[in-house]
A and B are shown apart, each in its own frame.
Chain A
């Protein structure tokens, strides 16, 4: 884990991991539709999605615990589709850490070096370095069960890193930690990962975690990657209904698309016709659509203001610096929208208001996508 171990950079933009049309089904049920994905060297890529979306299946395919039905998988440009896990040189940290309970911390960390027949002296040095990296030098002789959750996770990380893996896989590693510890471990892990320049695939269902940690996020649902991009691309410019609601809060309205010219739209919401500019390049055909905005892009105005959407305050939730206003709004998808206002400007329930949409930035999604 010293300085000479920074990953060797190859010329050009050769992906550290390349997934070419990989599919997987379990006894007839499709877990993964054909997936294409290139993970860059040193990149922190997050697979984000609800349970059952195929993210863990994809991780297990990269690790080699599952065999793909179709498609090819490359690690460092080497074809590994048929290569068993123990020859893939991959580090993995599981949700429950899976520390070997019958071994000490040092033995756990040394396991991957023993299998590689590294000399005794070198094992000792590298185990010490790895434990120093995760600040657990003094815990080498403890048993895993004598450690706290956070310490166990560090051991799991040290055990995965000590073999200098080509790819680090993280399977929801933070979900067993309490909130404060989780944040601290996220920062620490990201620091180590950046310092070592380690290609990392991180699986989570927690969108906050994904947004704060990733270089890129692949949002998945129903065995498909629905969008892939930087956290801000995913948050600010979602491609579809699913991504817009799964990542961050979304206010969605029933609307009718009238006219499209380039990225200029004309559409009807309720009885109001509005002109909007979208970031989207692919737009659905004219007709009924779903209009998407983020709460922070919507603003309130007096009820009846021309061009505003009528709504009534249903509930005001105090959140310290700001308040969440939940509004009943007949044209909203689900009949509800949410806005954040400074606490001082919170309105009592029953107040009639108008919602003003931003004229730049919102997106429209084909209505049938609402089903996914």
Chain B
């Protein structure tokens, strides 16, 4: 069938709309990326001359380096804890019927409703009351609470889509429930677990609001370090570190994609 004039108009206006939406989404990053190459010490737009020295500054600034290490520690630990506990919760919610199931589900999902600063403030008050030190573990605890709903959801979806016949076949072949869990269920759930862990790491890495309440100078995460920097200096270093930040996350995702095929991990295949 030949396309009419109207079809062409719709076709091209659709593409235009899509491009505009993409531009709109990308706009903040584009502006920041351009600003990061600005030679001037004041964040002006558009830049008059170009330079890379803000990148050098960003990479050599001590707080950023320590913040990055803290962020990676927190993200790694929080993701491991959340994936272990979260998978357990997801398994229980998927497989068992019990009277408090609704309550458990509600509690697990509540961090989606409670603002991050409330969680941070709550933990701050609690730790002060219990006279706990404001250590890295406090930050990890806050992050576990925040990322748990996403991990539980992610693993739960994989469990819902799981072919129960595999487990039944294994059981009929003499596999005890634990043996089946270890040899069949877990290996086949690996994509779901990786996707959950990936969400967890990225969410934790980006978390700022709650962290702000519970960190101190030695435990501050990268986003908090960036915030503290911008309160003192208004030069394009922050833009540079932002670009590095995005690049690192993008490269991580690319590697995951290469190794595990992202569509499968994210359950969108």
Contact = CB atoms under 8 A, between A and B. Distances in A.
12 contacts: A85-B168, A85-B172, A86-B180, A94-B169, A96-B163, A98-B165, A98-B168, A100-B169, A100-B184, A111-B175, A112-B173, A160-B173
Contacts of B12: none
B127 to A, nearest CB: 43
Interface string A135-172: 00000000000000000000010011001000001000
Q: Which of B163, B165, B170, B173 counts the most A-chain CB atoms under 10 A from its CB?
A: B173
Contacts of B169: 92, 94, 98, 100, 156, 159
Interface of A: 63-65, 84-92, 94, 96, 98, 100-102, 111-112, 115-116, 156, 159-160, 163, 169
A115 B179 CA distance: 8
B176 interface: yes
Nearest to A96: B165
Contact of A115 (B163, B174, B188): B174
A203 B177 CA distance: 26
Contacts of B24: none
Contacts of B177: 84, 86
A65 B179 contact: no
Interface in B178-228: 179-180, 183-184, 187-188
Contacts, number: 65
A86 B171 contact: yes
Given A101-B188, A115-B179, A91 B165 contact: no
Given A101-B188, A102-B187, A163 B173 contact: yes
Nearest to A112: B173
Interface of B: 163, 165-166, 168-177, 179-180, 183-184, 187-188
A65 B170 CA distance: 12
Given A86-B176, A115-B179, A98 B163 contact: yes
B177 to A, nearest CB: 8
A112 B171 CA distance: 9
B269 to A, nearest CB: 14
B173 A111 contact: yes
Interface centre among A90, A100, A169 (most CB of B within 10 A): A100
A169 B179 CA distance: 22
A112 B172 CA distance: 8
Nearest to A92: B172
Contacts of B168: 63, 65, 85, 92, 94, 98
Contacts of A63: 168, 172
A159 B173 CA distance: 8
A102 B188 contact: yes
Contacts of B188: 100-102
A318 to B, nearest CB: 37
A100 B172 contact: no
A115 B187 contact: no
B183 to A, nearest CB: 8
Contact of A98 (B166, B174, B180, B183): B166
A101 B170 CA distance: 12
A171 B179 CA distance: 24
A173 to B, nearest CB: 12
Contacts of B174: 86-87, 89, 112, 115-116, 163
A89 B175 CA distance: 11
Contact of A86 (B172, B184, B187): B172
A115 B175 contact: yes
Given A64-B172, A96-B163, 15 more contacts: A65-B168, A85-B168, A86-B172, A86-B173, A86-B176, A90-B172, A91-B172, A92-B172, A94-B168, A98-B163, A98-B165, A102-B188, A111-B175, A115-B174, A163-B173
B133 to A, nearest CB: 44
